[in-house]
Amino acid sequence: MRHMEAWMGIIEGRWDTGFLTEMAIGKKKIAHLRKKFAVKLITSEANIHHKRILNEANQYARIKKKKKKRKDLKSLAFCFA
């Protein structure tokens, strides 16, 4: 009943319950399917560039992991300073 807490005596048509509309849900599903389809195309064996793309993705993931680790260490050092 959390959505009832959002009601402030507003007319029903303008009341924002915070629930996703059917259109918003549909857009999320389509975006998810597009991402899934793109990954399948990019990583497919039929794609002549798939090895290079996967290598670049792995390099990017390693860089992101190192940056996150540095950030965590900096925040940890700040806590003990």
pLDDT tens string 19-62 = 677 777 888 888 899 999 988 988 889 989 989 988 998 999 99
Q: Please, which residues have CB within 8 angstroms of residue 3's CB and are 6 or more apart in sequence?
A: 17, 18, 19
How much is the pLDDT for 21? Answer: 75
pLDDT of residue 4: 54
Per-domain residue ranges for the chain? Answer: 20-80
pTM of the model: 0.48
User: Phi and psi at residue 49, in whole multiples of 5°?
Assistant: -105, 5
Interhelix angle 22-43/50-80, nearest 10 degrees: 120
Q: What is the pLDDT of residues 65-81, one digit of tens each?
A: 888 877 776 665 655 55
Give the pair of three-digit tokens for residue 44: 């497919």
Which tokens hold the place of 1? 């009943």
The Cα–Cα gap between 34 and 38 comes to 6
